[in-house]
Structure 1
Amino acid sequence: MTNWIDITQPLTNTIAHWPGDTPFSYNLTCTKEETGSTNVGQITTSLHMGTHIDAPFHFDNDGLTVDQLDVNIYIGKAAVIDVSHTDTITPDILQEHEWDKDVTRLLLKTSLPNDPERFPKRIPELAPEIAAFLHDKGIKLLGVDMPSVDPPDSKELATHHALADHGIFILENIMLDHIADGNYQLIALPLAIHGADGSPVRAVLRKID
């Protein structure tokens, strides 16, 4: 059996965070020596830390929250494609690639180097027009190896909104440097956080022969 491959950014106390957002921290609040039985830890974090999903509520007050999302969106057949030869990803760029007709999840390997401890000042651009193209191809989930599908300084979040308008959900900050193009089984389940705008996930792939 083919092994599962982890494509998750590890959550560490040195992981980069959005400027001005809550950084990740983990510490022990009680040690086994103190309790006599167990170590007990706590975390403090933004919900958009490391590998995570955006719920529509993140950018739309009337959008679904994490606990309202269908978990089946985040489990199933996915295609990984390499678009690292360009910093502007358009429908024409995606048109250069083929994937199976039953693929409903697309993961983009971009030109941005994976460095979890550095928040990038600039990232490759995803043109909002890709949303209509992907919708016509039956894509329901778009994953990227970047902290966002829009520029870090964007206020309009045009690509977030375009994807949502076409029924496409968002997975961000996956790590694909070690992943070859092809078809995979994907699991990237969010936590069932009531009312939340996003959630960290543990994202894994298994190659489909």
Structure 2
Amino acid sequence: MRIHDITLPLSSELPVYPGDPPIDIAPWTSIADGDVANVSRITLCTHSGTHLDPPRHFDQEGLPVDQIPLDLLVGKAQVVEITNTFEIGRHELERLPVRGVERLLIKTGNSELWKESEFVENYATLTSEGASFLIEVGVRLVGIDYLSIESITGSGDVHHKLLEKGIIILEGLNLAEVAPGEYELICLPLKVKDGDGAPVRAILRGGPEHTTQTDFDPHSSKWPLS
């Protein structure tokens, strides 16, 4: 079965959302320096790279990342593609196969932005109206291919609407080489106790037979992966 790695490799080269701390990976001990093993220290934000936003992100009493039901993070997912717009609302979504979908991943032109070394402020986002529509049709997890599902000028309304209804947000996906269609999603976060978010390793299995995605190489370190 074909496996698509839709996770961004964590590195100091990876853009972060404005205001978040940068990713820093530095040697702690090094064989090259005469130590017996290589050990590195990692400093990063809970919302670095490919990550989950649980309700705790915007609500101090909300469900934390370590208590998200695992069966929500593993299962059938629908990838839809929406291009030529920066605002994804009801009009864009209602024409797509999203009704009855529990896990929805939205592929946009954002996936091409991972080629940029700096954060790009002009990216495609879900609107408040779009969030209301996803609530209406019963989506339980929604993902998008940039570091936020909401505009950088947003008030937080999109996050609030989704998270208050228990809809988990999966951000920072790389869907550049993934064709629209039905897949199996597996996206398991770091088990951060009472966490407001956590990086995940997200993969898709299966999908349309016409996709040209190359076979998954677990040993590749090329960035970005898709």
Q: What is the TM-score when the length of structure 1 is the normalising length?
A: 0.90
Q: Aligned-residue CA RMSD in angstroms?
A: 1.8
How far the C-alpha of 1:3 sits from its partner, in A, is: 2.2
Q: Deviations over 1:67-101 (max 9, x none)?
A: 12212221111000011132211112111112574
Please name the residue that 1:145 is paired with: 145
CA distance in structure 2 between the aligned counterparts of 1:95 and 1:140, rounded to whole angstroms: 16
* SS of structure 2 residue aligned to 1:41: strand
Please name the residue that 1:188 is paired with: 187
Q: 1:165 to 1:195 in 2, by over 3 A?
A: closer
1:132 aligns with 2:132: yes
CA distance in structure 2 between the aligned counterparts of 1:111 and 1:6, rounded to whole angstroms: 18
Percent identical among aligned pairs is: 37
Structure 2 matches for 1:12-91, cutoff 5 A? 12-32=11-31, 34-36=34-36, 38-91=37-90
Structure 2 matches for 1:102-181, cutoff 5 A? 103-112=101-110, 113-115=112-114, 117-154=117-154, 156-181=155-180
Q: Deviations over 1:148-188 (max 9, x none)?
A: 1111233x301001112333110001011111010000011
How far the C-alpha of 1:66 sits from its partner, in A, is: 1.2
User: Unaligned 5+ residue runs, structure 1?
Assistant: none
CA distance in structure 2 between the aligned counterparts of 1:100 and 1:136, rounded to whole angstroms: 9
Q: Deviations over 1:128-164 (max 9, x none)?
A: 122332233221000000111111233x301001112
* SS of structure 2 residue aligned to 1:142: strand
CA distance in structure 2 between the aligned counterparts of 1:150 and 1:135, rounded to whole angstroms: 16
CA distance in structure 2 between the aligned counterparts of 1:34 and 1:193, rounded to whole angstroms: 33
Query: In 2, are the aligned partners of 1:114 and 1:175 still within 8 Å (CA)?
Result: no
What amino acid sits opposite 1:128 in the alignment?
A: S
What amino acid sits opposite 2:144 in the alignment?
A: V
Aligned length: 205
